[in-house]
Structure 1
Amino acid sequence: MPDSQLKTHQVHVLSGNQCDHHPDQQFAVSLMKILLASGSRLNCIERFMDMMHHTFPDIQLCLFSAHSESRLSLICSRPQVTDVASERFFPVLSAERCCTINDLMSSEVWKVSYADLFPGVSQCLLFSTNMNTRYYTLMVISAAEDVEREPWFQKFCYTCEIIHTVSEYMTFVETHFEQAEHIQQREKFASLGQLAAGVAHEINNPLAFIMSNYNTLNSYFSQLRTFIGQSGLVLDDSVTFLLEDSEAILSETYEGLTRIQSIVSSLNVYEHESVGTQRQIDLRDVISTALSMVQGEISLKADIEYQTPDEPFYVIGYPARLQQVIIHLVVNALQSITHDEGRIFLHLRSEKAVQNPGKKIIFLVIEDNGKGIPEDYLTRIFEPFFTTKRVGDGAGLGLSVAKEVIEEHHGQISIESVVEQGTKVLIRLPGLACVTGENDAF
């Protein structure tokens, strides 16, 4: 919720000069140790809030995390507020990094969403920052009439400056490593693309001859069976067995040839030639087409649960490549199901980008109730040729291909899995806020 919902005189932006008059090196070191500590995010947050409460015992501290562009969720507070607060969303009061907001009881936003938790409060202090790719807002509630005149105010502003400096440092480091990793990954895929193109070419040539000969042989066999049926010849058991076994062998041969074709097709994804041009596409169409291509295989082993949304989900990209990703992921989910009650869930939704007004992020979730992936394998599943499947069930290219394609579309893909419970794949793609007809509109 933007500042426009509050009157201009209510929001007082705090300048950097107000935050530099309380040097306390020991406190700063202790705070930075907590902010830069390894371990779970929630543990770090709890330690941070405990330290803040110990340092500022006379104020109420509430830490919010951005749920969307206009909504916050309460993740921690000192002292603890009612548990009900953690189950609901709160509107954003201000987009300023650090500010005080006065005369809160004159604001309908405050009265509707916050006043029941903080009765009688007329002023609050807000500090917002990015930390580890997440957007946080720290709210300070005090009974004082003017928090800027309180003895703790300067030290609190000093604390906010430390947090902001650490967050900028962490963002810089993360960006640097992401760029270095991206360059390394692109070089790896470029080398792999050259290798894959050569291998695919060498396999495709003999495969074309084999496939042609197979089709001819299969046609001859069908003619032979038709001739025997029309002639009324009575065959002994040995001949009947040969005919039936030959038919089974031809069927298995075709399955093996199509598997080879599928593997070669996967290799060709690393080759970036002749991919066409990017265009505006509706992900609903991409998903429907992909599911129709594997529906026959799915119907024998699992139920698909997918409700096509009413509104379009537009992105800029290559529809064939995105279809291939969805096919890979659905087939992977199918192959992980080893029981008779298999289910594959697909869900498509969107949210506004937290820090980019006018843009939105599209989320595609593909989830199954299969055997899951061991935790030790989760860090390697996107490596080319790494597979947890038995020999013959896959070449270990599906997920590496999916990651390459999604990143090519400026998106992200992540996987969560629990053994014997199932696997969830989350794809994030930059969406079009509106249909403009332009290929580069976001």
Structure 2
Amino acid sequence: MPVVREFTLPDLGEGLTGAEVVRWLVEVGEVIAVDQPVVEVETAKAVVEVPCPYGGVVTARFGAEGEEIPVGAPLVTVAVAPGEGPQPLAEQEPAVERPLVGYGVAERPAGARRARVGAGARSAAPAAAVVSAAPVVPVAPVVPVAPAVVAVISPLVRRIAREHDLDLRTVAGSGPDGLILRRDVERVLTAPAAPVAAPVAEGVVPLRGLRKAVAEKLTRSHREIPAATCWVDADATALMELRAELNRAAGPKISVLALLARISTAALARFPELNSSVTPDGSGIVRHTAVHLGFAAQSERGLVVPVVRDAHALGTEHLGAELARLTEAAREGRITPAELTGGTFTLNNYGVFGVDGSTPILNHPEAAMLGVGRITPKPWVHQGELAVRQVTQLSFTFDHRVCDGGTAGGFLRFVADCVEQPGTLLRQL
């Protein structure tokens, strides 16, 4: 007789306490393989697929789509063939779980997702049922069913389709081997024959997933950190000319963000006290030896802050490559929880939204954030004469517990000098 084993929601890392069920990838009565993803969940950091360490017949699922499941709570139960589990069912002790394989990126045997058992086994275990501790669920002979494979691997693509009630089986994929990409879904949704979504009724929108995590973090930052902001206008004409000159040469193109990131790491080398955070109990200041540079990026899930690890050790070209990689991953919904945590300083380029200034809330528990407004032609006194120059506003928000205004002003002035005279950076190399 098979052994029924329970698989609980694992700790997905970074101290997360739960996750919201986005979509079930298996059904009750389905035969699954070891390490096959069974559910897609959304944490406060990312959307991930969760693989099950057992192979066998799914006998129950726990949690409806949109419901939050705590870490350690049951996800599915699986009827495992004798000898597969480390303990007999009579002992009723949890199994020793296999390590997760890449948050659900392990390959599965072809057709394993759609193999079904007979109707009797299905009716014996409805989707929301709790498996009794006494009886053993009989496993009926497997009835082969033609697999209904949808060629899509991106959680973001599935989510967009689900939000617009789009059946992915009707979408032709333009990727390798017919893989359905985001552009394929958007092409269908924007076609003239596509149905127009009904207006959303007014009401309370629940805070969930990323939005909830952001709200909690910003509220805590605003409540706990005595933040202050200073700002200065800077002539970025020379910086833009340098960028144009660099991009005329062979090699990867250098973005404005990469130059600002390099300026930030040079400024933190001169003012290391700003690369710090206050201890949770407020009794001390932690000085970080490495600069893990966070930067604000817009994604389909909202504003996220990817982190470039050891940014202080990277040159401008390498910084640009890592910034581009993380930005693309955020936009496509592929960024991992580990890439969204551990920052020590944040660079906020809100100029991409067409605004000049901002007083952002600090990214708790970091002590400082550099903000950069749009770079736009403005009247400016240059070498004693009025001229049209490329001007930007720089703002600097800092935790007043880690430094005083003199340090913050010195940091911002150094950044402004590097923007106006990029050659100043040569002194830091």
TM-score (norm 2): 0.26
Pick the structure with greater CA Rg: 1
Higher RCO structure, 1 or 2 (CA under 8 Å, sep 6+): 2
Q: Which structure is higher in helix share? A: 1
